[in-house]
């Protein structure tokens, strides 16, 4: 039985090991169907001892992954034309470590060292792939014997045979493809850059930039570009693996940033952080491998093992996708991550020897990267769109918040204005009651004299209501108004409160400044600043209080300086008074802690200007800078 099986195997080997005939019209072929291979498990063979090897048909060009021993292959080619010709043989994998090629013709053998372990200077063809020229005379037949070794991936035993013209076309196509890849990738990046700037998210911009650079570096390194730049040996292998790790690291960083921006929490975020920690450890190991090349094989195996947690990430994202069907940003990120995940997994299956290399597998990761980049860019665009929608809603909310925050001020100021008229009207009514009670001859005359006085007080109170109503019911569209008129209107509304504390207002506006903008918003700014000064003066019991407002403008900027002598701002740092979270406690009692934060929002959003605060030797000083053509014009 053993003899029968041996005979069958010998027959199959003889049938398989046929000569590859290259005719006049030959352009390209793969030699694996006519090749044999032998495993050199003990690393004991050389070109003179191959008759001792156990040769077997090459049913798959992928001869296993991460082998610690070399593999030998052989095939025979024949020039079936009547003229001398040159052919090029090429290994499909750009990152093979070592390929020793022996060309045997008659009794003469020539040796060519290929692979990343050798410098490109020693090659006959300076190409990013391992390629060699074979010259054949008319009807000449030669045998190609190769010794292959690759410790950081699968051993690719295939030889591709090209006619010279076809190899030139292939090389041009390769150059065009990688040029196109880099061009499209950078175009997507430059398309995304203004959007990132608009988002004001510096962290996302930083991670996204490093993601783009590491992705390009990984694609070029994986496909032999680093080797064509003159790098070789274990250096090019470590850089290839390092770029791969960095690409995964910054992909995870970008995904994590998107999850944080979209307030996406849960087990997925924790898993991403854990995997990020493992990837950072691997990057440190890559640096160690520069000094200890013996760790390369173990290091490359650990990188392959990262496919398992990446698979877990994909399943977690898929699970969360069903709960976030309305979140377009998360959907785009999931699609982009899926593209690179599928491409990376496919590449890993080839690396470990499970699948065979082919034309698509060479470019699959670059295709996946472009898809990932495209959908990440869509995700960023959608995120900015959501920010813009939210900004519009916040502007509307600001108007409502401003109105509600000022209700307390309005009621307080009305009560100040009404206090004296109500007391006087009450006393006059008491006087009328007394007159009616005594009913003397002069009662009717005195009542007729008192009624106009009561009416005047109620008219005053009605006017007060009308003034406040006019302020809070003004047209919210832009109009042209004089700053001096608005300030005087505000001061008149606050006059009773100011008079109670003998507060004086001095206004200087020599240029009679006008502004085409939001009069209502400007009134609210002035009310808050003056009312705050009144509150501070009352709290600190300031003698002879005053407010000085100085208005000036040039062709572009209106400058409004508001100073008081009410003791200054105690809060440190002084800029924090514009933050609603850190507002002054005394001020918060009257403004709810929102007054100055609303002032800053109004100046920034409505007028496109700025406001700053400082202390003088007597009190506080606010400087408002407002463009003559406001931001929304």
The average pLDDT across 584-611 equals: 68
Q: What is the pLDDT of residues 290-310, one digit of tens each?
A: 777 777 777 777 777 777 888
Q: Between 266 and 217, where is the model more confident? A: 217
**pLDDT given for residue 383 in this prediction:** 79
Q: What is the pLDDT of residues 373-402, one digit of tens each?
A: 888 888 888 877 877 777 777 666 666 655
pLDDT exceeds cutoff 80 at 244: yes
pLDDT band, residue 602 (cuts 50/70/90): confident
* Cα(279)–Cα(239) distance, integer angstroms: 15
* Cα(313)–Cα(439) distance, integer angstroms: 95
pLDDT exceeds cutoff 60 at 417: no
pLDDT band, residue 629 (cuts 50/70/90): low
Closest residue by Cα to residue 392 from 192, 198, 594, 605: 605
pLDDT band, residue 13 (cuts 50/70/90): very low
pLDDT exceeds cutoff 70 at 599: yes
Instruction: Please give, one letter per residue, the 3-state secondary structure of 222-247.
Output: HCCHHHHCCCCCHHHHHHHHHHHHHH
pLDDT exceeds cutoff 80 at 216: yes
Rounded (5°) CA angle 515-518-519:
75
* Cα(77)–Cα(27) distance, integer angstroms: 14
pLDDT exceeds cutoff 70 at 589: no
Q: Between 325 and 69, where is the model more confident? A: 69
pLDDT band, residue 433 (cuts 50/70/90): low
| Helices (H) then strands (E): counts for the chain | 17, 20
Percent share of the chain, pLDDT over 70: 80
pLDDT band, residue 582 (cuts 50/70/90): very low
Q: What is the pLDDT of residues 151-184, one digit of tens each?
A: 778 888 899 999 999 999 988 988 888 888 888 8
Q: What is the pLDDT of residues 88-137, one digit of tens each?
A: 999 988 878 889 999 998 878 899 988 888 877 777 888 878 889 999 99
**pLDDT given for residue 397 in this prediction:** 63
* 205-209, 467-471, 527-531: segment of lowest average pLDDT: 467-471
The average pLDDT across 529-547 equals: 87
Q: Write down the H helix ranges in 48-89.
A: none
Q: What is the pLDDT of residues 258-302, one digit of tens each?
A: 887 776 777 888 888 888 888 888 888 878 877 777 777 777 777
Closest residue by Cα to residue 186 from 347, 373, 59: 373
Which strand (E) or helix (H) includes residue 103? strand 98-105
**pLDDT given for residue 471 in this prediction:** 55
Q: Which residues of 98-115 are buried (b: 16+ CB within 10 A; e: fewer)?
A: bbbbbbeeeeeeeebebb
This prediction's pTM: 0.58
Q: What is the pLDDT of residues 313-338, one digit of tens each?
A: 888 888 877 776 677 888 888 888 88
Strands 479-482 and 154-156: unpaired
Q: What is the pLDDT of residues 399-410, one digit of tens each?
A: 665 555 555 555
**pLDDT given for residue 71 in this prediction:** 92
* Cα(336)–Cα(375) distance, integer angstroms: 5
> Which residues does 515 contact at the CB level (< 8 Å), separation at least 6?
480, 481, 483, 522, 558, 626, 628, 630
Q: What is the mean pLDDT of the chain?
A: 79
Place of tokens 């040769």: 55
* Cα(110)–Cα(54) distance, integer angstroms: 23
**pLDDT given for residue 593 in this prediction:** 45
**pLDDT given for residue 548 in this prediction:** 94
65, 155 Cβ separation under 8 angstroms:
yes
Q: 557 forms bridges with which residues in the sheet? A: 627
Percent share of the chain, pLDDT over 90: 17
The average pLDDT across 470-493 equals: 76
**pLDDT given for residue 461 in this prediction:** 63
Please provide the distance, in angstroms rounded to a whole number, between the alpha carbons at the two ends of the chain: 96
- State how far the alpha carbon of 234 is from the alpha carbons of 248, 291, 365, in Å: 21, 10, 23
Count Cβ atoms within 10 A of the Cβ of residue 197 and give its class: 0-12 exposed, 13-18 middle, 19 or more buried.
exposed
């Amino acid at each position: 039985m053993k003899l029968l099986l041996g005979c069958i195997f010998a027959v199959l080997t003889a049938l398989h090991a046929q000569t590859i005939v290259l005719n006049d019209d030959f352009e390209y072929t793969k030699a694996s169907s006519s090749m044999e291979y032998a495993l050199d498990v003990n690393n004991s063979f050389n070109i003179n001892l191959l008759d001792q090897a156990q040769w077997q048909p090459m049913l798959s060009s992928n001869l296993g992954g991460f082998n610690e021993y070399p593999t030998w292959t052989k095939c025979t080619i024949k020039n079936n034309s009547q003229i001398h010709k040159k052919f090029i043989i090429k290994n499909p994998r750009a990152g093979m470590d070592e390929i020793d090629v022996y060309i045997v013709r008659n009794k003469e053998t020539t040796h060519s060292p290929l692979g990343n372990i050798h410098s490109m200077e020693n090659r006959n063809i300076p190409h990013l792939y391992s390629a060699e020229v074979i010259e054949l005379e008319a009807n000449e037949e030669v045998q190609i014997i190769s010794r292959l070794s690759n410790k950081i991936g699968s051993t690719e035993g295939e030889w591709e045979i090209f006619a010279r013209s076809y190899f030139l076309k292939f090389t041009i196509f390769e150059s065009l493809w990688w040029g196109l890849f880099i061009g499209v990738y950078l175009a997507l990046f430059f398309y995304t850059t203004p959007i990132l700037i608009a988002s004001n998210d510096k962290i996302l911009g930083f991670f996204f930039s490093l993601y783009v650079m590491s992705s390009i570096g990984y694609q070029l390194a994986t496909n032999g570009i680093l080797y064509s730049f003159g790098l070789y040996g274990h250096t090019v292998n470590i850089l290839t693996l390092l770029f791969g790790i960095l690409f995964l690291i910054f992909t995870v960083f970008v995904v994590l940033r998107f999850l944080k921006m979209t307030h996406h929490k849960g087990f997925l975020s924790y898993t991403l952080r854990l995997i990020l920690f493992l990837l950072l450890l691997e990057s440190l190991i890559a640096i160690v491998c520069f000094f200890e090349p013996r760790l390369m094989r173990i290091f490359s195996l650990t990188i392959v093992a990262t496919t398992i947690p990446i698979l877990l990430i994909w399943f977690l994202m898929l699970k969360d996708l069903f709960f976030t069907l309305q979140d377009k940003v998360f959907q785009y990120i999931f699609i982009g991550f899926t593209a690179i995940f599928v491409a990376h997994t496919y590449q890993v299956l080839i690396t470990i020897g499970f699948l065979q290399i082919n034309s698509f597998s060479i470019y699959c990761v670059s295709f996946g990267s472009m898809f990932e980049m495209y959908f990440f860019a869509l995700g960023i665009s959608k995120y900015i769109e959501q920010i813009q929608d939210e900004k519009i809603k916040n502007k509307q909310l600001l108007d409502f918040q401003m109105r509600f925050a000022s209700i307390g001020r309005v009621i307080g100021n009305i009560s100040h204005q009404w206090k004296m008229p109500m007391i006087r009207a009450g006393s006059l009514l008491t006087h009328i009651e007394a007159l009616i009670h005594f009913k003397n001859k002069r009662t009717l005359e005195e009542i007729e004299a008192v009624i106009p006085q009561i009416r005047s007080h109620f008219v005053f109170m009605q006017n007060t209501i009308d003034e406040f109503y006019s302020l809070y019911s003004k047209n919210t569209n832009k109009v042209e108004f004089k700053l001096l008129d608005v300030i005087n209107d505000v001061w008149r509304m606050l006059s009773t409160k100011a008079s109670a504390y003998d507060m004086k207002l001095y206004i200087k506006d020599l240029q009679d400044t006008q502004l085409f903008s939001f009069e209502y918003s400007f009134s609210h700014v002035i009310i808050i600043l003056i009312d705050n000064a009144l509150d501070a003066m009352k709290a600190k019991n300031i003698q002879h209080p005053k407010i000085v407002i100085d208005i000036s403008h040039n062709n572009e900027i209106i400058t409004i300086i508001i100073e008081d002598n009410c003791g200054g701002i105690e809060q440190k740092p002084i800029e924090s008074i514009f933050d609603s979270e850190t507002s002054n406690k005394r001020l918060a009692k009257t403004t709810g802690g929102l007054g100055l934060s609303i002032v800053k929002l109004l100046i920034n959003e409505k007028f496109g200007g700025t406001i700053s605060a400082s202390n003088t030797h007597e009190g506080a000083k606010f400087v408002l800078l407002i463009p003559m053509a406001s931001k929304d014009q």
